[in-house]
Amino acid sequence: MTFQGEMGKPKKKGEAGVVNPWTPNFEQVKNATGGQVKQPYVDFGTDQFKDNEKYYSREILAQERDRLIAKTWHIVGHLNDIPEEHCFMKADLAGESFLIVRGKEDKLRAFYNVCQHRGTRMVSDDYGKSRTFTCPYHSWSFKNTGEVAYIHAEETFRREVLCRNLDLEPVRVDSWKGWVFINMDMAAEPLADYLGARFRESLDAFDYRNFVRVYDVRQTWNVNWKAAIEAFIEGYHVTAVHAKTLTPVMDDYYVQHDMYENGQGRTIFPFLEPAQSYLKKLGGKIDGITPEMQHFLETAGVAKEDYPTDWRDVKAAVVASKRKNQKKLGFDFSKFTDDQLVDDWNLSLFPFATFNTHPEGVLFQRWMPDAEDPRKTHYILQVYAMRGECVIPSYMPIAPGADRTGKTVLPAMRLEGMGGPALGPVVEEDVCFVPKFQAGLESRGFRGANYGEHEIRNRQFYKEYYRYMNQSR
């Protein structure tokens, strides 16, 4: 594919960003509540995406493993998933498996989860604590620092065999704000550069280091990983797919799209502001406030007798109460702007992850390719919340018995089939369309994707995708 335009230059401090000329934005709304300066607009052109085979070709999947997956940084969890020395977590990705270990003075190490004797996968647990990893095939053992520790019947090996490097194969590992990343490319750029300065600065107010995992479900979907993630980096489908769950409380029209370096992106969806389609359906009039608005008021500490009667006053009431009751709620909101206390920030970490972030909690989603089948995606949904008993947004579930102190690491739950209540009502609505989407992408009658400006992050995604696939990065 050929892409038009380049990344916009970072604005100087105090300089307003260029408004996307086609898409409605916060800046175009009188008395808009969006408080974030828009990043420079990036023109990704108007090309039709005709290469539909990327959604089902085994050959392209093999190229993705070599050219993209092996070259990019991948978020695999949080430091609080490995809370102390000798704790480890396992991460599986497109046929590879990795072990990430926390060592002395919080030093992180990562290795391929493969024994250097005959290549057997050693660890099957997602999380655990151990000083050594032992191969179940021939009992070779390795320290959690990577060195080979024990070779069963070592005397039966010739010296020339044992003189080789038999330690675990290392992988690059780094962390940012508590999140842990790995990269198979030992010569890759530093994680900080990959994320980009502007992206990192946009999240300065959020202190994720004190977050713990309170929900973790995993499921295999019958869809290509790119087709799956496309639905979660655009809000254009909200009016049709999420009419019941989201449109009463979230505007999907006057939103803010921001493009960052290396494929990272952000869309700010105004919460506690009904969608334009929802308002139009009701003739512009809403009687009272919705149950979701009541939930936000309750969690912000607003007394029931003080609930606004007009939905237009709800956001201001929530913000004012959060600031007034921040100590009681267990937070320091002084670094956050008013919109950050309410609105939904949908961010993407190229290539596989998105996270919806609020000061109280984060909903993480990842879509990993299958090792061999381009029509299968391994999906992970996780929720991380601030330590303690703070209330997080209602669309973020909490597992029964989840340890909010972080002392006990939550096990993952694997789900059969596709969809189900455990994914939550919003994601469940998305999953219902997955089979139809994949089938249509493979139709001879589909001439190629035509993205609108509300789907600009889809164009951005493929701009970055082809930089790797064309080996031009």
Closest of 225, 234, 263 to residue 54, by C-alpha: 225
Q: What residue type is assigned to position 255 of the chain?
A: V
> What SS3 class is residue 345?
strand
Q: Which residue has the tokens 């929900």?
A: 215
List the strands of the sheet with 179-183, edge to edge.
74-78, 179-183, 172-176
* Angle CA 372–374–375, to nearest 5: 120
Residue 361 has pLDDT above 80, yes or no: yes
pLDDT band at 9 (very low <50, low <70, confident <90, very high): very low
Burial grade of 13 (CB within 10 A; 0-12, 13-18, 19 or more): exposed
At residue 325, the pLDDT reads 87
- The one-letter amino acid code at 281 reads K
How far is 118 from 222, CA to CA, in rounded Å? 32
Pair 440, 449: CB distance under 8 Å: no
- Is residue 238 very low, low, confident or very high in pLDDT (cuts 50, 70, 90)? very high
Q: What is the pLDDT of residue 12?
A: 43
State the distance between the two ends of the chain, measured CA to CA, in whole angstroms: 14
**Other Cβ atoms closer than 10 A to 417:** 10
Dig out the tokens for 451 from the structure.
């993205």
Q: How far apart (Å, rounded) are the C-alpha atoms in residues 249 and 195?
A: 31
Tell me what the pLDDT averaged over the chain comes to: 91
Q: What is the pLDDT of residues 183-226, one digit of tens each?
A: 999 999 999 999 999 999 999 999 899 999 999 999 999 999 99
Separation CA 450–CA 443 (nearest Å)? 16
Rounded Cα–Cα distance for residues 410 and 401 (Å): 9
Task: Tell me the two tokens of residue 74.
Answer: 């991948």
In sequence order, the β-bridge partners of residue 87 are 129
- pLDDT tens figures, 279-322: 999 988 888 898 889 988 988 889 999 999 999 999 999 999 99
pLDDT at 5 over 70: no
pLDDT at 207: 86
> DSSP for 53-92?
GGGT-HHHHHHHHHHTGGGS-EEEEEGGGS-STTEEEEEE
pLDDT digits (tens, 9 = 90+) for 345-355: 999 999 999 99
Q: Is the pLDDT reported for residue 4 higher than 80?
A: no
Contact 260, 8 (CB under 8 A): no
- 165's enclosing H/E stretch is none
pLDDT value of residue 37: 79
Instruction: Tell me 278's DSSP state.
Output: H
Three-class secondary structure assignment of 429-467: HHHCCHHHHHHHHCCCCCCCECCCHHHHHHHHHHHHHHH
Q: Give the model's pLDDT for residue 16.
A: 45
Query: Which residues, 6+ apart, have CB-to-CB distance to 291 below 8 Å?
Result: none
Q: Of all residues in the chain, what percent carry a pLDDT higher than 70?
A: 93
Identity (one letter) of the amino acid at 161? V
Q: How far apart are CA 370 and CA 376, in angstroms?
A: 6
Dihedrals φ, ψ of 182, to 5°?
-130, 160
Q: What is the pLDDT of residues 446-471, one digit of tens each?
A: 999 999 999 999 999 999 999 999 98
What is the pLDDT, as a whole number, of residue 395?
84
Q: What is the DSSP letter of 336?
A: S
Report which of residues 284 and 377 the model is more confident about: 377
Strand partners for 175: 180
